[in-house]
Amino acid sequence: MQRSIQGSPEAAAVPEPPWYVRAWRLSDILIVAARIYCGYKAIQLWGRWVSDRGQESRYRRQDLRAARLLHRAALRLEGLLIKAGQFIATRADILPPEWVNTLASLHDRVPPRPLSVIRAVVERELGQPLEAIFDDFAAAPLAAASLAQVHRARTRDGRDCAVKVQYPDIAGLVQADLRNLMLTLRILARLEPDFDFRVIAREILKYIPLELDFLNEARNAETIRRNLAHRADVLIPRVFHDLTTRRVLVMELVEGIKITDVAELKRAGVEPSAVGQQLIEIFTEMILRDGFFHADPHPGNILVQPGPRLVLLDFGLAKDFPPHFRDAMVRLTFAILTSNREAIVAAFHDLGFRTRHPAPETLLTLADLFLGNSVRRNRAYADEELIGEFANELPRALRANPVVEVPADVLLVNRVMGLLSGLGRTLDSRVNMFATLMPYARDLMAAQNGAVK
């Protein structure tokens, strides 16, 4: 199986915008970050030193102001900020509705680039006039997002398709914004040592450039299509390889209902909680059984057809686990499901986690955060009670015995679980996590043990 997350010489040679454009973007990001930070800090200090009366309502008003600030900045700067807003908008499980609702439009309703710009990219990439390639090409896009936009089209031989076209200047902007992000997070870490997100940002540095390589995305789509071919309840569009390049991706046109449009799902006779069940089963198979999974399941990337049948889109971010890592993930899941403390600690060590001291409490707390409490309480997503507990327990455990080494691959799994948790809350998911996960974990453990013998 090919490795899906890796660099490429062409990606490394992306030309960046002029210095004055980079400086303007940096100043814009810093101003937005400062306004958001100062707003929350002022409320915190007022509650601490003056009065905490009305504190909750002040935080809610600041949530709305901050979300609107980020939304305007994302539309202004595009690129990486749009991706950040998309991620925030998926976390309905842990973030206030002011943030989620304000940023939700960033999934697929970003102002599009003109058709003339899109035409130029397609013709340069495919080496022919647009009319020579497509019998019909819609002027208005189906969706416009952070790195590209998608147009409905029909090929000259009559195939209906979706054409994903990368914005011509986006690669350089993203590369510049990644460095700006690291500087902003470095400043935040100095101001608030408990909120140091630079480890996560460094992983983003590895993954984002791969989303700019549509040949990589095409390979990812074909791999997941093969892996899930036995399931009638999931559909992966076919890639038209003869029309696909690094910056243009042409796929079979597949339509459906956006997964978070609960009202439309119900009108179509689809029970949202059944969609939540399918979602967990499909991603459990990809992560634990296949070791190759779609790593960006935000609402703009999942459609639902009657049945229900899920349609997965956008495979720019996918992950291929090494066999030993996938096996350790299976052992960790099985250990958590069976409440085996010794096996939990051993699996974390096998994955590459290291703590400053050998005491197991921090890793056991992480196991609860990862899956344990959701299984014990039979909750398909993190609710306010669980979040409140971890907000108290995790910092205490980390202070007593800090984690000094975290495997990079786990960060993507956590991101996927966070996105699925947010979708689960929106769908009012009723998934029995133990009953759903245990058959996979048990069978995969038996296969591991058989291989050892």
Structure tokens at 325: 């890592």
Structure tokens at 265: 């799902």
Is 296 among the catalytic positions? Answer: yes
Choose, from 296, 320, 327, 409, the residue flagged as catalytic: 296
C-alpha to C-alpha distances, 300 to 86, 166, 260, 306, nearest whole angstrom: 9, 17, 9, 18
- Contact at 8 Å (CB) between 152 and 138? yes
pTM: 0.79
Distance CA 296, CA 86 (A): 10
- Which residue in the block uniquely carries the two structure tokens 């799994």? 413
* DSSP per-residue letters across 170-217: HHHHHHHHHHHHHHHHHHHHHH-TT---HHHHHHHHHHGGGGG-HHHH
Q: What does each of the 453 residues of the chain score in pLDDT, given as a tens digit? A: 333 333 333 444 567 788 888 899 999 999 999 999 999 999 999 988 988 888 889 999 999 999 999 999 998 988 788 878 877 776 665 678 898 889 887 876 678 999 999 999 999 999 999 999 999 999 999 988 888 999 999 999 999 999 999 999 888 888 888 888 888 888 888 887 766 666 656 656 667 777 889 999 999 999 999 999 999 999 999 999 999 999 999 999 999 999 999 999 999 999 999 999 999 999 999 999 999 999 888 888 999 999 999 999 999 889 888 889 999 999 999 999 999 999 999 999 999 888 888 888 888 888 887 776 677 766 665 555 555 555 556 556 656 777 777 776 776 787 788 778 888 888 988 888 888 889 989 999 998 887 654
Q: Residue 150's beta-bridge partner residues?
A: 143, 164
